[in-house]
Amino acid sequence: MNHCLLCHSESTALFFEGNSHLFYKCSNCGTVFRDPDTFISVEDEKARYLTHNNDVEDERYQQFVSPITASVLKDFTSKATGLDFGAGTGPVITKVLKDNGYHIELYDPFFHPDNTVLERTYDFIVCCEVIEHFHNPLEEFKLLKRLLNPGGKLYCMSDILVSIQEFDKWYYKDDPTHVIFYSEENLQWIRKASGFSNVFIDNRLIIFPV
């Protein structure tokens, strides 16, 4: 029996089994998650992230993150303060927003492990290709909510869960660092459990307003 990675319920059942993958689904919150017994080590996780070739000057990379950067530019003036949570080796969102005059801090447990930035609050937080890596997702979302000022917003990007019929060929599950997947059902559960006022889903863009 595997407890749900998100809500910790015991109401989970096997969702998919492949050659090197084992996933469960929770009947309480709808979360599909990787079997925790198959999580890779912290060392292997960092090594995989180091293989990512994320050049902040690459226009294709800037275009990839544009759903987040365009939303921040629309929703907040450059007087707003932001946090790039899970910034990784190539914090392209920070580069784009700084080029537009925004002040934004960096945090990443592997590459920008400055915990002092988690002692302040922000008008907006960006999490691009981050939330699918959360080993303790509820605690992480509660932290992100706590770090936001009144009127603030959390912007995330992640592939939305596909149907069970498509799951076998879904590339997103094949990354061993991807341990949890998101859908309308569990995003609404997160909204309520974390205290956000709403959640908006637009393809890969997910926005939680305070």
Rounded (to 5) percent helix, strand, coil in the chain: 35, 25, 40
Lowest-confidence segment of 58-62, 82-86, 123-127 by average pLDDT: 58-62
Could you tell me whether strands 81-85 and 122-128 are parallel, antiparallel, or unpaired per DSSP bridges? parallel
Integer-rounded Cα Rg, in Å, for the chain is 17
Length of the chain: 210
Give me the DSSP letters along 123-156.
EEEEEES-GGG-SSHHHHHHHHHHTEEEEEEEEE
pLDDT of residue 1: 67
* pLDDT > 80? residue 53: no
Q: Say if CB 122 and CB 183 are below 8 A apart.
A: no
* Residues sharing a CB contact under 8 Å with residue 78, sequence separation 6 or more, in sequence order: 100, 101, 102, 103
pLDDT of residue 142: 98
* pLDDT > 90? residue 123: yes
* pLDDT > 90? residue 51: no
pLDDT of residue 58: 83
Average per-residue pLDDT for the chain: 95
Lowest-confidence segment of 16-30, 46-60, 80-94, 150-164 by average pLDDT: 46-60
pLDDT of residue 79: 97
State pLDDT tens for residues 153-184: 999 999 999 999 999 999 999 999 999 999 99
pLDDT band at residue 59 under the 50/70/90 scheme? confident
Which domains does the chain possess? 12-209 (3.40.50.150)
Averaged pLDDT, 32-38: 96
Q: Residue 182, SS3?
A: strand
The label of the residue with tokens 């096997």 reads: 14
Residues paired with 200 in a beta bridge: 207
Distance (Å, whole) CA 167 – CA 45 = 23
149-162 b/e (C-beta count within 10 Å ≥ 16 → b): eeebbbbbbbbebb
In terms of Cβ atoms closer than 10 Å to its own Cβ (0-12, 13-18, 19+), residue 34 is buried
Instruction: Identify the CA nearest to 95 among candidates 122, 133, 68, 130.
Output: 68
More confident position, 53 or 130: 130
